[in-house]
Structure 1
Amino acid sequence: MPLTSISKDLDSLTMTIVAEFPVPVRRLWDAYADPRQIEKFWGPPEYPATFTRHDLYPGGRSEYYMTGPDGDRSAGYWEFLTVEEGHSFEVRDGFAAEDGQANEEMPSMRMEFLFEAAGDGSRLTTTTYFNSADELQQLLNMGMEEGTRAAMAQIDDVVTDLRSFAAGHGVDTQLLGQTQARFTRIIRGSVEQVWQAHHDPELLKRWLLGPDGWVMSEVTVAHAVGDTYRYAWTPEPGVDGEPFALTGELKESAPPYREVTTESMEGFPGPATLNEQTLTPLEDGTLLTLVITYADADMRDSILATGMTGGMETSYARLESEVLSS
C-alpha cells in the first residue's frame, strides 16, 4: 500500500495525499502520462476508469468515465493548467456530462500533482483545493476519501510492471465503448521528431506505406485548421492491390502534441471517422495515442478486420528504422 497520509485542512479548504512508491520518479510520472496505465488505477476497483482523451501538456484536456458493476457511468474531465514534465502538473478537475463537457451543476476543484525522489523510490503529493467548505463536505460525503484510498492501492501493481507498457510491444489496440478504438505505440524518438515525421511530405513518403511493396503517390498535408489533406498509395509492379486514397479535414491542431482530423476513403460511401492523435513524451520515447471514432460498432469492427493494426505497426516500425534512426 503506497498511501502514507491523507490530511484535510478546513481552513485552507485543501486535502493533501502523500504516497510513496518503490520506483524512480520517471516511472511513476509515465504511469500518469500513459492512458493505458492511469486508467488501471484512477478509479477504485469496482469503478474502473476509461480515458477517451488524455493530453498531458499545458492547455490539454483529459476526458474519462468510470463504469460501475451495474454498468452505470460517472464521467469526469481534467483541464491541464500547468505541466513541468517529470516533476509536476496542475489540473482543473470536474464532473462531466455524457458528452464529456463540464457538468456545471457539480463542483470542480484544482489539483496539484508533485513527483519527487524519496529514498530509493519516489513520492507523489497530491493537493486538492476546494472552492468552499460546503463543496469539500459534499465531495467527502460522496466517498471521495474512501475512493481515493481504494484507487491508489492499485498503483503499485502498475508501476512495478516493467514489461507491459515498455517500448517494443508494437501497436496496442483497445475498444472504447461501442464506437471508438484506441491505438497506442511508443515510438523511439522525441515528440518534435515524431510530429515532424507526420507533417513533412518527404518524410511521410519514407515511412507511411503500410505493407511492403506500396508507395505514396501523393502527399498533401493539412497544416492549418480547416485545411484538407490527401494521401494516396499505389502498389509497385507485381504487388496485388488497387490504388487508393484517404482524405479529410484538420479540425484541431496543437503542435507538437495533438491534432484532430476527419478521414474518409475516396470512392467508398459512408460517414467519415474522427481521428484524435496525441503525442506524449515518455522515458522510452514518444507515446503515440490515436483514438478513432466510427459511425457505429459495425463500421469499426469491419475496418479493424482488414488488418489495419498490422499495417500501422509496419509503418511505425519503418518510421523508427528508416527516419528516426538516421
Structure 2
Amino acid sequence: MTVLDVHRDEEALTFTIVAEFDAPPARVWQVWADARQLERWWGPPTWPATFDRHEFRPGGRSAYHMTGPDGTKAHGWFAFTLLDEPQRLEFDDGFADQHGEPVTTMEPTHGIVTFEAVGDRTRMTVLSRFTSIDQLQEMAKMGMEEGLRLAIGQIDGVLAEPS
C-alpha cells in the first residue's frame, strides 16, 4: 500500500492523505492530467470513475461519474484553480447532477495536491479543505477516508504501465 499517513483535523477543517510512489513527480502528475489514467484510480475499486469531460488547465472543468456495484451512479465535478506542473495542483471538488452540473445541496471542497521528489520516488500529499465542521463530518460519514485510501492504492497499478 502506498498510503503513508491519513489525518483529519476538525479544527482546521482539513483532511490530508500522504502517499509515496516509485515514479518521478512528472509521471505521478500524469495520473491526474490524463483522463484515462485518472479513471483507473479515482474512486474506490467497487466504484470506478468515468470522466465525461476533463479540461486539465486553470479555469478548466471536469465532469465524472462513479458507478457502484449495483449500477448506481454518483456524479461529481472538478474546477481547476491552479496547475503548477509537476509540483502542485488545486481544484474545487463537488457533487453534480446527472448532467455534470454542480448541485447546491453541499458546498464544494477545495483540494490541494503537492508532488515532492523523495530520491527517485514521489511523495503526493492530498489536502481537502472544508467549509464547515458539518461538511467535514458528513463527508467522513459517507466514507471519504476509506474511499480515498482505496482509490490512491490503485495508482501503483496505473504507474506500472506505460503512460
Alignment TM-score, normalising by the size of structure 2: 0.97
- Counterpart-to-counterpart distance in 1, 2:90 and 2:140: 21
Is 1:144 the counterpart of 2:144 in the alignment?
yes
- Counterpart-to-counterpart distance in 2, 1:119 and 1:129: 29
How many residues are treated as equivalent by the alignment? 163
Cross-structure match for 1:47: 47
Amino acid at match of 1:35: A
Larger Rg: 1
- Counterpart-to-counterpart distance in 1, 2:109 and 2:18: 18
- Counterpart-to-counterpart distance in 1, 2:72 and 2:35: 21
Cross-structure match for 2:131: 131
Cross-structure match for 2:85: 85
Deviations 1:120-177 (A, max 9, x none): 2101011100000011000000100011111111110101212xx3xxxxxxxxxxxx
SS at match of 1:51: strand
Amino acid at match of 1:22: D
Cross-structure match for 1:35: 35
Amino acid at match of 1:37: Q
SS at match of 2:71: coil
- Counterpart-to-counterpart distance in 1, 2:93 and 2:58: 14
SS at match of 1:105: coil
1:99-248 matches, within 5 Å, as 99-162=99-162, 165=163
Contact 2:5 2:17 in 1 (8 A): yes
Deviations 1:51-76 (A, max 9, x none): 01111111000110000111110000
- Counterpart-to-counterpart distance in 2, 1:87 and 1:150: 23
SS at match of 1:62: strand
SS at match of 1:59: coil
- Counterpart-to-counterpart distance in 1, 2:107 and 2:141: 13
Contact 1:23 1:160 in 2 (8 A): no
1:241-256 matches, within 5 Å, as none
Cross-structure match for 2:65: 65
In the TM superposition, residue 108 of structure 1 has moved relative to its aligned partner by 1.2
1:9-28 matches, within 5 Å, as 9-28=9-28
- Extract structure 1 runs of 4+ deviating beyond 2 A: none
Amino acid at match of 2:32: Y
User: Which gives a bigger RCO, structure 1 or 2 (Cα 8 Å, sep 6+)?
Assistant: 2
Amino acid at match of 1:23: A
Contact 2:49 2:67 in 1 (8 A): yes
How high is the sequence identity, in percent, across the aligned residues? Answer: 45
- Counterpart-to-counterpart distance in 2, 1:59 and 1:107: 18
- Counterpart-to-counterpart distance in 2, 1:70 and 1:11: 37
1:256-275 matches, within 5 Å, as none
- Counterpart-to-counterpart distance in 2, 1:127 and 1:96: 21
Alignment TM-score, normalising by the size of structure 1: 0.49
In the TM superposition, residue 107 of structure 1 has moved relative to its aligned partner by 3.0
Q: Mind listing any 5+ residue stretches in structure 2 that lack a counterpart?
A: none
Q: Mind listing any 5+ residue stretches in structure 1 that lack a counterpart?
A: 166-326
